[in-house]
């Protein structure tokens, strides 16, 4: 039985890695440390005609980074890798600082928009807010995972590792679809992506039921349950906020195009 679980975990690990590679391929190498990061211009420091493009670029970059951190957090927790989890906590803090900077620059960005761009500005504010919420949800996954291993608590059960690897693969695939929609502006695909999101949520619900069963059977400790159920809950929040972000990004882009068309 243990050998079968090991084989399943290995297969899911390879699949999730391939899904993550598909997300980041063709893009610049991810950098999170301040010493390696090239200076970047805040969204709020550009002219109106560049705001949409800059917003799309920054949202795509943030989502790529977020799903990579999520992916590696699951791997690090599954392998009791304290060093990796500590690094990921620093990476999340970097993303949080970036989203905080976007929020701080909101006033300046909105003043760059012309007076007939009220709706465009509204959707831009929503994009920034949802991005902040996604970063928060990610931090509520990475920090407890690091704290659990850092405090030398017992690692996940083999069954939990299998469940999280499966969830991780589906999350990576979903984020890949979302990045594609934003890049190509194929917003008619959003309903299919929402269905994909619901399938992942069903997988989360299934894992939650299995954990409740383990609790009733005395197979899981309190610390184990708090960590595992917390990860499942924050993963669901992350997915919900990401779809909200996708919709806001769509509205932002579409509304800006309509405003520009009306000026012609």
**Confidence band for 28, pLDDT divided at 50, 70 and 90:** very low
**Confidence band for 252, pLDDT divided at 50, 70 and 90:** confident
Whole-angstrom Cα distance, residue 126 to residue 159? 38
Rounded mean pLDDT, 223-249: 96
Q: Exposed, middle or buried by CB within 10 Å (0-12, 13-18, 19+), for 237?
A: middle
What 8-state DSSP symbol labels residue 59?
A: H
Residue among 102, 108, 152 nearest 129 (CA)? 102
**Confidence band for 110, pLDDT divided at 50, 70 and 90:** confident
Task: Give just the sign of the alpha carbon dihedral 170, 171, 172, 173.
Answer: positive
Is the pLDDT reported for residue 262 higher than 70?
no
For residue 259, the model assigns a pLDDT of: 53
Give how far Cα 190 sits from Cα of 60, 62, 102, 117, 187, Å.
16, 19, 25, 24, 5
Poorest-pLDDT segment among 20-24, 27-31, 49-53, 175-179: 27-31
Is the pLDDT reported for residue 210 higher than 70?
yes
User: Could you read off the pLDDT of 37-70 as tens digits, one per residue?
Assistant: 444 444 444 455 567 778 888 899 999 999 999 9
Three-class DSSP category at 33: coil
Whole-angstrom Cα distance, residue 70 to residue 57? 20
Is the pLDDT reported for residue 27 higher than 60?
no
For residue 24, the model assigns a pLDDT of: 46
User: Could you read off the pLDDT of 182-205 as tens digits, one per residue?
Assistant: 999 999 999 999 999 999 999 999
Residue among 246, 128, 241 nearest 193 (CA)? 246
Share of the chain above pLDDT 70, in %: 76
Length of the chain: 264
More confident position, 198 or 108: 198
pTM value?
0.81
């Amino acid at each position: 039985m243990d050998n079968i679980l090991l084989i399943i975990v290995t297969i899911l690990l390879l699949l999730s890695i391939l899904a993550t590679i598909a997300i980041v391929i063709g893009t610049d190498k991810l950098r999170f440390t301040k010493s390696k990061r090239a200076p970047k211009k805040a969204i709020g420091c550009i002219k109106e005609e560049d705001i949409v493009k800059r917003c799309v670029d920054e949202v795509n970059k943030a989502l790529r980074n977020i799903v990579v951190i999520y992916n590696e957090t699951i791997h690090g927790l599954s392998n009791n890798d304290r060093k990796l989890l500590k690094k990921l906590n620093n990476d999340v803090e970097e993303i949080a600082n970036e989203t905080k900077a976007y929020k701080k620059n909101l006033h300046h960005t909105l003043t760059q928009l012309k007076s007939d761009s009220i709706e465009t500005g509204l959707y831009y504010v929503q994009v920034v807010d949802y991005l902040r919420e996604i970063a928060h949800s990610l931090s509520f996954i990475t920090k407890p995972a690091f704290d659990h291993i850092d405090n030398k608590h017992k690692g996940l059960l083999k069954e939990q590792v299998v469940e999280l690897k499966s969830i991780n693969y589906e999350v990576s695939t979903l984020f890949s679809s979302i990045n594609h929609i934003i890049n190509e502006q194929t917003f008619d695909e959003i309903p299919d992506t929402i269905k994909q999101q619901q399938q992942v949520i069903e997988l989360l619900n299934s894992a939650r039921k299995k954990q409740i069963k383990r609790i009733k059977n005395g197979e899981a400790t309190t610390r184990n349950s708090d960590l595992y159920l917390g990860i499942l809950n924050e993963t669901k929040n992350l997915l919900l906020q990401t779809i909200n972000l996708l919709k806001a990004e769509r509205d932002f882009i579409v509304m800006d195009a309509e405003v520009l068309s009306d000026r012609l």
